Amino acid sequence: MLSTLPTTRERATMSTPSAHDHQNTIETRLWLEEHVWLYQLLRSENNVSPTFRFPDLIAACVSLVFTHEEAPVHIFRFLGTQLVLRAPQTPRRRESMWRQQYALLLAVQRSPANRHPNPKFQLDQLTTACVALCREQDESGTSVLQQARHNMAERAQHEKRFSSPEI
């Protein structure tokens, strides 16, 4: 019987993401509208050398939003005026983001603005808000790709600092 699926031995030797990458990324979800926009950016002719993937693009959106001093205000304003009006059962797509940007969103999620008597927003809604705010600011996604480059360089510098043997 012929099959296009890899055999057990082939699966064992296939390239898979390293455990290190999985430790440094966090799973999140994106609402469909924002996922479609990021997917278009992923496939864009401008996304080359290197080609950034979803964790990079999502993290870049989060980073860009947090370049503004009042990032949580912007996020909650979007959530309270736009996202709240969408159907709550809107489909979402599972993706990942880098842990450093997750920490920024986690602080917002744990903030007083997300506690009683205010509505409680989840990580997928906060992540979606960041992507939507970036899209509002720059539909072309050029700034997202540029920020992805900065984030990558920062991660590489950080890893270099902590992995270099002392002389």
Q: What is the pLDDT of residues 10-32, one digit of tens each?
A: 333 333 444 455 578 999 999 99
pTM of the model: 0.82
Instruction: Decide if 94 is inside a domain.
Output: yes
Instruction: Decide if 89 is inside a domain.
Output: yes
Residues near 26 by beta carbon (within 8 Å), at least 6 away in sequence: 96, 97, 98, 99, 102
Instruction: Decide if 17 is inside a domain.
Output: no
Instruction: Decide if 4 is inside a domain.
Output: no
Instruction: Decide if 127 is inside a domain.
Output: yes
Q: Low-confidence residues of the chain, pLDDT below 50?
A: 1-19
- So what's the pLDDT on residue 166? 55
- So what's the pLDDT on residue 3? 35
CA 66 – CA 70 distance, rounded (Å): 8
Instruction: Decide if 31 is inside a domain.
Output: yes
Instruction: Decide if 18 is inside a domain.
Output: no
Provide the domain limits for residue 141. Answer: 24-163
Instruction: Decide if 10 is inside a domain.
Output: no
Give the total number of structural domains in the chain: 1
